[in-house]
Amino acid sequence: METNLFNKRGEASNSILVFVGIAVFIIIIVMLLPYISSALGLFNSGGTPPPATQGVIVSAIRTPGSVSPATKFDVVFTVYNNINGKGATDINLCLDNIGLFTVVSSPNQNGAPQSCTQIPVLFAGGSIPETFSLESPADSAYENIPYAQQLGYFLNYSYQASASQSAEFVSQQAYNSNNYPYASSASYGNTAGPVSITTLLSAPAIYGSAAQVSLSLANSGTGIILGEVNVNISMDSTYINMTQPPAGFTYEHTYSNGTVVFSGKMLVGASSTFIILPISLNQTKLNALSADGVPYLSSNIHISISYNYEESGFFPLAFNVQTYYIP
């Protein structure tokens, strides 16, 4: 009786080990499948994880490694928006450098196949697949000689980003005694995007003098900015205000809660573009702080930008040849 029980337990243990072994084998195969298919040339899978500053990108491209003459096949793009960014709008994804290929169907097709498709909006962290169906030419179109073509694409979209900067003012007495909290001298609360926002306040300003805030924009992405960058600068005018808006910036509006907005445009090229924001205390607030002996005050400046951006890239696609058999 004990021997039979022992045998049954042994058989059960062996069955569990076999099951676990099969499960582990399947998991390993699934994990290695993309690498195996790439090594065998079955599929091209392009794209890399987006850099920290990037907005919308083509994070992956799935195509056959090669195509036979007069064959239909799919090109699948995965469009991704950085999870640390904001929602993107008016996204256009277009095939480029199609060459001998023919587009036979496109995403959201309405009428004849198009080489472009539009994504109205894509929230931060979102991704969406877009599939174009293409047809390779007959072998006579390329003399039945094997070669690879660089198919291209470009992606443009509208994007926004924002950042904030603390402007700190201290009384002369607090400054002399070094008795005040140190506010952050650099920007905070940045949202990811290919156009980066950097602000800097070198030191707190003494009551009655202006603070110099440096605002810098730079193209930190891998594409190009289409046109100028729209910039809005806002602050609570009951605390602080801009003594002289930078060149090209104008007063926009003051809201009922005291928030004042200045707007302008900045042309951002290959290097950073910066402006100086001269900030001073509201005179009424300054008088009240001085009369009450308040040693310091800190208020925030908010910067928001909007712009159009374009990315582009290429991926290879090989032509096979038509094999002729001689009887």
pLDDT in tens, 100-147: 899 999 988 777 888 999 999 999 999 999 999 999 988 888 787 888
Query: Are 147 and 117 contacting, i.e. CB atoms less than 8 angstroms apart?
Result: no
Q: What is the mean pLDDT of residues 267-287?
A: 91
77: tokens are: 């793009």
Report the mean per-residue pLDDT for the chain. 83
Model confidence at 202, pLDDT cuts 50, 70, 90, reads confident
Q: What is the mean pLDDT of residues 61-86?
A: 92
Q: Specify the pTM.
A: 0.78
Q: What is the pLDDT of residue 9?
A: 47
Q: What is the pLDDT of residue 14?
A: 54
187: tokens are: 């920007």
Q: What is the pLDDT of residue 217?
A: 95
Burial of 11-35, coded b for 16+ CB within 10 Å and e otherwise, reads eeeeeeeeeeeeeeeeeeeeeeeee
Q: pLDDT tens across 249-275, in order?
A: 999 999 999 999 999 999 998 788 999
Cβ atoms within 10 Å, residue 271: 8
Q: What is the pLDDT of residue 38?
A: 35
Q: What is the pLDDT of residue 286?
A: 92
- Look at 176-190, 209-223, 248-262, 278-292 and tell me which has the smallest mean pLDDT: 176-190
- Containing H/E element for 235? strand 224-236
What whole-number distance in Å separates Cα of residue 289 and Cα of residue 54?
43
- Which of 98 and 28 is assigned the larger pLDDT? 98
- Which of 23 and 314 is assigned the larger pLDDT? 314
Model confidence at 188, pLDDT cuts 50, 70, 90, reads confident
What whole-number distance in Å separates Cα of residue 67 and Cα of residue 192?
38
What proportion of the chain, given as a percentage, has pLDDT over 70? Answer: 82
Q: What is the mean pLDDT of residues 294-311?
A: 93
- Which of 42 and 208 is assigned the larger pLDDT? 208
User: Does residue 203 register a pLDDT over 90?
Assistant: no
Q: What is the pLDDT of residue 13?
A: 52
